[in-house]
Amino acid sequence: MALMPTRPSVFRGSWAASGDRGNFGRTVERLNLSSPAWLAVVAALALSVISVYSIDVAERLRDPGMPQAFLSPIAMRQLTYLVVGLCAACVVAVPHYRWAGYFAPFLYVVTVGLLVFLLIPFVPTWLVRPRNGARGWIDLGAFDLQPAELAKIATVLAIAAYMKYRDSHRRFMGLLGPGVVLAIPVLLITLEPDLGNALLFAPVLFAMLVAAGAKLKHLAIVVLLAACVAPATFPLLKPHQKQRIVGLIKQFNGDTSADQDINMQSVTAQRMIGAGGAGGNSDEASRRLLKYNSLPERHNDMIYAVIVNRFGFFGGMTLLLIYALWTLAALATAVSTTEPFGRLVAVGFAIFIPTQVFVNVGMNVGLVPIIGITLPFVSYGGTSLVVCWMMVGLLVNIGMRRPKATFRASFEYTRAA
Indicate the pLDDT class of residue 8, thresholds 50, 70 and 90. Answer: very low
Is the pTM of the predicted complex or chain greater than 0.85? yes
Indicate the pLDDT class of residue 65, thresholds 50, 70 and 90. Answer: low
Indicate the pLDDT class of residue 9, thresholds 50, 70 and 90. Answer: very low
Q: CA-CA distance, 398 to 339, in Å (whole number)?
A: 9
Query: Is 402 within 8 Å of 338 (Cβ atoms)?
Result: yes
Q: CA-CA distance, 371 to 196, in Å (whole number)?
A: 5
The whole-number pLDDT of residue 396 equals 96
Q: CA-CA distance, 295 to 110, in Å (whole number)?
A: 36
Q: CA-CA distance, 403 to 164, in Å (whole number)?
A: 15
Report which of residues 140 and 396 the model is more confident about: 396
- List, for residues 190-200, the tens digit of each pLDDT value: 999 899 999 99
231: cis peptide before it, omega within 30°? no
Burial label, 70 (beta-carbon count in 10 A; 0-12, 13-18, 19+): exposed
Q: Residue 67: pLDDT above 70? A: no
Q: CA-CA distance, 195 to 397, in Å (whole number)?
A: 32
> What's the mean pLDDT in 96-115?
95
Nearest Cα residue to 383 out of 50, 42, 84, 57: 84
Q: CA-CA distance, 201 to 31, in Å (whole number)?
A: 31
